[in-house]
C-alpha cells in the first residue's frame, strides 16, 4: 500500500513538473511574440516616418520652386506683394501640416518603444515571481516528502 502511494506521489510530482515546464515555455513564447510584434510596429512607423520626411523635403522643394515661379509670374502680371504673401502662407500651412504628421509618428514610435521596455520589465518580474513560486513549490514538495517519510517510519 505504501509503495503504491509512493509511486502515485512520484507520478504526480512528474506530472506537476511537466506542466510547469510547458507553462513556462508557453509564457516565454507569448512574450517573444509580443516583443516581435512591437518591433515590427516600430519598424513600420520608422519606415513611414522616413517616407513622411522625404515627402516633406519634396514639398519644401516644390514650395520653393512654386514660390520662385509664382513670384516671377506675379511680377510679370504686376500683381501686388500682398497676393504673393497670401500664396506663400497657404504653402506654409501645407508644410506645417506635414511636419505635424511627422511629429505624431515620432510620438507613436516613442510610445511603442516605451511599451516594449515595459513588456521586457514585466517579463523579468513575471520570471522572478514564477521562480519564487517554483522555489516555494519545491520547498513544499520537500516538506511533503519529509512528512511522508515520517509517516511511513
The alpha helices in the chain, defined as continuous H runs, are: 2-77, 81-152
How far the first Cα of the chain sits from its last, in Å, is: 14
Structural domain spans, the chain:
16-152
**Does the structure show a pLDDT above 80 at 92?**
yes
Is the pLDDT at 29 greater than 80? The verdict is no
Say what the pTM is.
Answer: 0.40
Residue 113 pLDDT: 85
pLDDT of residue 68: 82
Give the model's confidence band at 19: pLDDT under 50 very low, under 70 low, under 90 confident, else very high: low
CA-CA distances (angstroms) from residue 78 to 14, 49, 65, 66? 93, 41, 19, 17
Give the residue, 113 or 37, on which the prediction is more confident. 113
- Cα dist from 108 to 44, 91, 150, whole Å: 11, 26, 62
Nine-digit cell string for 42: 516600430
Amino acid at each position: 500500500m505504501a509503495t503504491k502511494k509512493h509511486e502515485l506521489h512520484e507520478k504526480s510530482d512528474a506530472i506537476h513538473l511537466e506542466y510547469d515546464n510547458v507553462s513556462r515555455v508557453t509564457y516565454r513564447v507569448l512574450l517573444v511574440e509580443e516583443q516581435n510584434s512591437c518591433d515590427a510596429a516600430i519598424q513600420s512607423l520608422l519606415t513611414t516616418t522616413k517616407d513622411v520626411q522625404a515627402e516633406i523635403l519634396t514639398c519644401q522643394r516644390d514650395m520653393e520652386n512654386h514660390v520662385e515661379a509664382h513670384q516671377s509670374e506675379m511680377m510679370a502680371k504686376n500683381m501686388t506683394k500682398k497676393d504673393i504673401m497670401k500664396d506663400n502662407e497657404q504653402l506654409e500651412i501645407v508644410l506645417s501640416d506635414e511636419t505635424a504628421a511627422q511629429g505624431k509618428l515620432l510620438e507613436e514610435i516613442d510610445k511603442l518603444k516605451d511599451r516594449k521596455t515595459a513588456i521586457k520589465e514585466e517579463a523579468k518580474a513575471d520570471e522572478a515571481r514564477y521562480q519564487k513560486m517554483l522555489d516555494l513549490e519545491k520547498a513544499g514538495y520537500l516538506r511533503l516528502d519529509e512528512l511522508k517519510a515520517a509517516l511511513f517510519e
